Amino acid sequence: MALNKIVIRGARQHNLKNLNVEIPRNKLTVITGLSGSGKSSLAFDTVYAEGQRRYVESLSAYARQFLDQMERPDVDSIEGLSPAISIEQKTTSRSPRSTVGTITEIYDYLRLLYSSIGVPHCYRCGRPIARQTVRQIMESIHLLPEGERVMVLAPVVRSRKGEFRRLLEDLLKEGFLRARIDGRLVSLEEETPRLDKTRNHTIEVVVDRLLIKPGSEKRLESSVEAAMKLARGMVILAIVNGEEKLYSEKLACVDCGLSIPAVEPRTFSFNSRFGACPVCSGLGYQFELSPERIFPDPSKSLLNDGLIPWSDGLPVRARHYLQELGEFFRVDFREPLENLPIKVQTAAWHGLPSSKRLSTGLLKLLQDDLGDDSEAFMVAKVCSACTGRRLRPESLAIKVAAHSIADLTALPVGSALEVMRKIQLSGREQIVAGRILEEILERLTFLDVVGLSYLSLDRSATTLSGGEGQRIRLAAQIGSKLRGVLYVLDEPSVGLHNRDNQRLLSMLEQLRDLGNTVLVVEHDEDTIRRADFVIDLGPGAGRAGGELIAQGPAAEIARAPRSLTGAYVSGQKAIPVPDVRRQPNGSALTIKAASHNNLKNLDVSFPLGLLTVVTGVSGSGKSSLVNDILYRALARRLYRATAEPGPFRELLGAELIDKVIEIDQSPIGRTPRSNPATYTGLFSAIRDVFATLPESRERGYKAGRFSFNVKGGRCEACQGDGLRRIEMNFLPDVFVECEVCRGHRYNRETLVVKYKGHSIADILEMTVSEALEILENFPTIKAKLQTLADVGLGYIHLGQSATTLSGGEAQRIKLAKELSRRATGRTLYILDEPTTGLHFEDVKKLLEVLNKLTNLGNTVIIIEHNIDVIKTADWIIDLGPEGGEGGGKLVVCGPPETVAAHRASHTGAILAKVLARRLSRVAETSPTYSGNA
């Protein structure tokens, strides 16, 4: 049985109720059910966790010593388990150096391709670079003026690890007495330098030191030849106390005399000093002091009102500078800055290049004065040297198919794929680079197939959504062509338009057909219907879940009487389309000429007082418009936020709202110490309740006694975490239960104090629904708990670690926190895919909450692909028509019925099927806002 099934017996992890289930191997299996019904507990915390534990068991003795501390899933047995790989929605990487290209390894193959068949060009004149002969090198050297003292150096080692003791001894035997090691001149005859073998070193042998004068040509030529012989065709000519130049008989520009070192894969690495731009160290940007952060209110004066870091007065040098600049321009810097001419404002901040005395600029003077404290007032600016391309000019001048490696990675994946397909390799090139080109084409094709053709390879990993990061890793796994693996995925359809969903499902089937078992936690109806096998958990969430409700093909799930999922799949239940939609009242927020990222000079209006959905295929510009322009522009106007909005010409109607709230899917905390109770403010009120109990008064306990963040009542062994972190050199860090407090976070004395028989630790272990019953007599606490329950989070534990919450759960916790505050009726709520992780029934609850908000006069704007949310909206703004360069336009906007009738809209095509019964009732006078469609 275990050969064709994964057999799970007695699974009790978290809320699973002694679950017995059999998952077919080499099939696509979907685990579905209400949010909190136990899907992730089964897929990730039981199946994947046991697979990971067994993998560690096969490692070295060093690795196995941690086995006793890695908690075994609470399950009787799992048979037929394969090596497991987890592909979750967590952010791929927080490193600014990580890109789409590096994650997928496409960039590594590109570096190999460019170092193999790339054609070097001179970055000054643009002509192809040929190899230099010794005579050409000498002719260039002879141009040096007489009287210059020079050193002829042979670079024998260039940034390599090792001690090089034998090499240095051999050089001394050959008569070389000096060398420059890591930039420092040393004598080889006094004592052989001891080098750290774990660090990179550069060794340049001093072949000769001489004065340029008539008659020195022969000696110089002999020294150059000796150096080139030592360093395999390279020589460095260093002018004493001056510049130095690298010459190579391998690659040089005949016209400019520009030489470049040998082309290697590291030449194109922005993480190596041989490839990275020397100004920004390969980041593509530099941090600079921002005038807007230092001086946010231009209605004040620079001299009198002071700047934020110097509220008590400007530094003396800065004051003198402004006084001299004022005399030069004949202006008074005691006037409000906004009243001064633009050229004067620019000169004040950046200096006056035409004047040596006034060229410094206020920003430079202030940065010198601030020192390390300047970071808070800085913004990232594109590097002036590499213009954001990260590499040295020599590296950027090497081309394949008329594209530099930076040009190619800046293209969307779809365009890069076209360029790669057109490359024709000669006989020698085919031998050297044929296989490399095939690997690049294969990986680019995978990215295109999963609907990521709009991404560029140089896109920073920190800007990717959870769904994008997951699909990138999925493409990488298909590229690896592993067989016999168990893949566990968490909602891969997140962030994907319905049009692209079929392509994703085909990719999952391709992964299955390679001979793998694919286990997917998913709520998407199309995925459920296409799956080979479906496991439906429930019937409720939290402690009311964890049972096997139904299993089998989708058709069997649809017939199961207890299955809520089956009721929606069969059509017995559905989220209703509203009979009457709210109509625009004439007030709107209007953005003019938005041109951020791929937006095409877009004019678009968001009607106020409505529930508006912004939709469109992946990469069509939704986040660029809503998050990067609308939210940032409003936050800057209302709260003086420092985040720079994307470029646009004008925002109209901002005075009609008094509050803007962005509710995204970023974690509510990054440590196990953060939890829903602390984030929503519930915990402070609960601690106050415990501090008023008779036992607390007798013992003199205050509210602080019940905090796990300060000494006193917490367990000091784990410092109130309830967990201890074990650093694993070969795997992600592991958190294990504290052996002293057994995860309760508090010491024994604190746990003695109880309310209705429950200690503070017991309260934190309760679900929202359970705590609502226990704490119903406290109105403030009850209101916050009720709000959490209303957004479908009745199943989460109050003390549940923030690191275990999904992006959708974190977003709904933020929504609940905002809902518990008093609404003004003029508030704008912005949500980015709030249906992530939600079952059909949970989506229904969420829509009820959002409609309640809108009924109070507030405006709700949602970025969403979920068709149930789209069909119930009052207003739709559909961007596209495609992603990346093919997007950024307004396709259509108006009520769902109007969008459904628009033939050019991909969203409309899907809406038309959903609203088929209602389209005949669309009024011809349905209001629409025309845009630059």
Q: What is the pLDDT of residue 927?
A: 47
Which of 89-103, 416-430, 721-735, 814-828 has the highest mean predicted lDDT (pLDDT)? 416-430
> Over 50: is that where the pLDDT of 418 sits?
yes
In this predicted structure, the answer to whether residue 930 has a pLDDT above a threshold of 60 is no
- SS3 letters across 657-708: CCEEEEECCCCCCCCCCCCHHHHHCHHHHHHHHHHCCHHHHHHCCCHHHHCC
> What does the pLDDT read at residue 366?
78
Q: Is the pLDDT of residue 372 over 70?
A: no
Could you tell me the pLDDT band of residue 925, with boundaries at 50, 70 and 90? very low
Average of per-residue pLDDT across 321-328: 87
Confidence at residue 697, expressed as pLDDT on a 0 to 100 scale:
93
pLDDT of res. 232: 82
pLDDT band of 802, cuts 50, 70, 90:
confident
- pLDDT of 349 higher than 60: yes
Residue 419 pLDDT exceeds 70? yes
Position 923 confidence tier, pLDDT thresholds 50, 70, 90: very low
Q: Is the pLDDT of residue 93 over 70?
A: no
pLDDT value for 69: 55
Q: Backbone phi, then psi, for 242, in 5-degree steps?
A: -145, -160
Q: Give me the pLDDT at residue 308, please.
A: 67
The confidence score (pLDDT) of residue 380 equals 83
Q: What is the pLDDT of the chain when averaged over all its residues?
A: 87
Q: Across residues 784-810, what is the average pLDDT?
A: 85
- Dump pLDDT digits (tens) for 578-606: 989 999 999 999 999 999 988 999 999 99
Contact 300/335 with Cβ under 8 angstroms? no
pLDDT recorded at residue 466: 67
The DSSP H or E segment spanning 876 is strand 875-880
More confident of the two residues 795 and 931 = 795
Task: Please state the separation of Cα 146 from the chain's center in Å.
Answer: 56
pLDDT of residue 808: 72
Position 920 scores a pLDDT of 41
pLDDT in tens, 880-900: 998 888 899 999 999 999 999
Q: What is the pLDDT of residue 453?
A: 86
Angstrom CA distances, 309 to 305, 312, 338, stand at 12, 9, 20
| 223-234 average pLDDT score | 88
Among 473-477, 531-535, 799-803, the range of highest mean pLDDT:
531-535
Q: Which three-class secondary structure string do you get for 559-599?
A: HCCCCHHHHHHHCCCCCCCCCCCCCCCCCEEEEEEECCCCC
Inter-axis angle of helices 840-855 and 779-790, to 10 degrees?
Answer: 120
pLDDT confidence of residue 729: 60
Q: Using 50, 70 and 90 to split pLDDT, how confident is the model at 737?
A: confident
CA distance 447 to 472: 7
Separation CA 898–CA 900 (nearest Å): 5
Residue 51: closest CA among 692, 526, 608, 488? 488
Cα dihedral 381/385/389/391 (nearest 10): -130
What is the Cα–Cα distance from 70 to 73, expressed in whole angstroms? 9
Q: What is the pTM of this model?
A: 0.77
Verify cis geometry, omega within 30 degrees of 0, for the bond prior to 539.
Answer: yes
What length is written for the chain?
933
Look at residue 68 and tell me whether its pLDDT is greater than 60.
Answer: no
Beta carbons of 869 and 888 less than 8 angstroms apart: no
Tell which wins on pLDDT, 333 or 649: 649
**What does the pLDDT look like over 741-780, one tens digit per residue?**
988 999 999 999 999 999 999 999 999 989 999 999 999 9
Model confidence pLDDT, tens digit, residues 139-151: 877 778 888 899 9
Confidence label for 70 from pLDDT (cuts 50, 70 and 90): low
Is pLDDT at 710 greater than 80 in this prediction? yes
Q: How far is CA 602 from the centre of its chain?
A: 26
Helix (H) or strand (E) holding 85: strand 84-87
User: 624 pLDDT exceeds 60?
Assistant: yes
What digits encode the pLDDT tens for the residues 642-663?
Answer: 778 999 999 999 999 999 999 8
Least confident of 359-363, 589-593, 650-654, 910-914: 359-363
Q: How far is CA 279 from CA 386, 388, 389, 398, in A?
A: 8, 11, 12, 20
Question: Any residues with CB less than 8 A from the CB of 222 and at least 6 apart, and which?
Answer: none
582-587 own/partner pairs: CB under 8 Å, 24+ apart:
582/609, 582/610, 582/611, 582/854, 582/874, 583/874, 583/927, 584/609, 584/610, 584/875, 584/927, 585/609, 587/653, 587/656
Q: How confident is the model at residue 629 (pLDDT cuts 50, 70, 90)?
A: very high
Helix (H, G, I), strand (E, B) or coil at 197: coil
Query: 3-state class of 413 per DSSP?
Result: helix
Q: pLDDT higher for 275 or 257?
A: 275
Full DSSP string of 257-314: --B-PPP-GGGG-TTSTTTB-TTTTTSSEEEEE-HHHH---TTS-TTTS--GGGTT--
C-beta separation of 59 from 90 below 8 A? no
